[in-house]
Amino acid sequence: MDDEEPGVQITAFGVFQDFYTREWLNNYSASTISWIGGVTYFFELGCAPIGGKLYDTGFGRVSVWFGSFLSMLSFFLLSHAKPHQYYQVLLSQGVGMGIGLMLVFGPSMTMVSDHFNTGRGLAMGIVAAASPVGAIVFTVVLNHLFHSSIGFTWGIRAMGFMSLGCFIVGNALIYTPRKANKPTPVSSLTATATVPAPIWDLPYVLILISGFLWALGANTPNFYMQLYAGMRNVDQSLVYNSFAILSVGSIFGRILPGWMADRWGAANVFIPSLAALGNYGYLFGTIISIYLPMIRDLTPDGTNMGRRMGYALSPIGFGSTIGPPIIGAILSGDFLWWRAIVCSAVIVLSASCFNVAARQIYISRTRMSAAQTTPPKCPHIVCT
């Protein structure tokens, strides 16, 4: 349930994008408004190493508690934002919620990874599936409340109270594995000071580049799909339910590929899914749920897992921050949708090339090492 709120921000922002562009902030361009969601992404994912470091030093639960409180506070501050006051929405929704979600998302996902030695991909996929479930509820309810007599202010407050219940239950249920609660001893830090930082491992860096690229292009439907449908005179009820339909596909795309990743390897599932992202709803769920297990496969001993996952989320945050505004600028005031769609597709396809390169380099290195020494027990990314 703690993971639900970040997913809502990822999938449901298109509801805000549509409402802000056509009503609440209609004195600003779509590109300018998309910076609100972009800033949320920046703090939530771009600053994820902070949450990862807190987890590695034994403050995972504290991070989740404080992040939950800040997210809820930001919800209620957003409800006080006035029409046409861009800075109020940016500070409460972009900055406040973004920082709160940064403290929740990374540590909560790393906790799941540390709990499972087998079936990790399926476990993380099930947890990730909470996001589209929450997004279905949020998108349907927000669209109904925004366009009824209840309006924006009490619509946001209603969502705030709903999130409060989820956060209370989630924080009561989370448990950090004992090994992750122990801060790293000084002697251990000294002994490993000569080990190269994991960020410089070439396959790992290539996957991070891939993460930046697919985040740059893959978030276009999340931000603009409802606006696109509304401007194309699609039936209004279908417009308001479009993100719910998208999220249904994402639920299945997060669970089944997790099981497939445990069986055939995370990279072997992630790469074709990324290349075929045209079937957006299902496969967007796949790349979200398989990305972190793929990072875990690159770290068989689990060393500094919080920081490695935090570093891995950073390029996604940066790509998600600048991607939607760039697409909005390409879209222009004339709303030339074909340009935005083609640009997004090309960027996502280029991301899959870096994943293929990372996989091949990792396999080659492991085989060379196995030929020189006793073959180690290798992760799925190598064995297939």
Other beta carbons less than 10 A from residue 247's beta carbon: 28
The answer to whether 245 and 281 are in contact (CB under 8 A) is: yes
Structure tokens of 296?
């875990």
Determine the Cα–Cα distance for residues 6 and 285; give it in Å rounded to an integer.
14
- In the chain (384 residues long), the average pLDDT of successive 10-residue segments reads 53 84 90 89 81 80 89 92 94 91 81 71 71 79 88 91 86 69 41 45 86 85 79 75 69 70 75 63 62 73 69 84 87 82 85 86 79 58 48
Structure tokens of 55?
């987890």
The answer to whether 9 and 288 are in contact (CB under 8 A) is: no
User: Which of 1, 205, 167 has its CA nearest to residue 75?
Assistant: 167
pLDDT at 195: 43
What's the CA angle centered on 107, arms 63 and 248, to 5 degrees?
120
| Strands (DSSP E) found in the chain | none
pLDDT at 87: 94
pLDDT at 303: 63
- Could you tell me how many helices (H) and strands (E) the chain has, helices first? 19, 0
pLDDT at 25: 93
Residues near 364 by beta carbon (within 8 Å), at least 6 away in sequence: none
What residue has token string 């990790």? 120
What residue has token string 């945050």? 317
The answer to whether 41 and 33 are in contact (CB under 8 A) is: no
Burial class (CB in 10 A: 0-12, 13-18, 19+), 188: exposed
The answer to whether 366 and 382 are in contact (CB under 8 A) is: yes
The dihedral built from the CA positions of residue 161, 176, 181 and 192, taken in this order, carries a sign that is negative
Structure tokens of 261?
């990743």
The answer to whether 47 and 317 are in contact (CB under 8 A) is: yes
pLDDT at 192: 39
| Domains along the chain with CATH numbers | 4-174+197-383 (1.20.1250.20)
The answer to whether 207 and 274 are in contact (CB under 8 A) is: no
Q: What is the DSSP string of 97-155?
A: HHHHHHHHHHHHHHHHHHH-SSSHHHHHHHHHTHHHHHHHHHHHHHHHHHTSSSHHHHH
**Maximum distance among all alpha carbons in the chain?**
72
pLDDT at 187: 38
- Ramachandran quadrant class, 151 (left: phi over 0; alpha: psi -120 to 50; beta: rest): left
Q: What is the DSSP letter of 195?
A: S
Residues near 149 by beta carbon (within 8 Å), at least 6 away in sequence: none
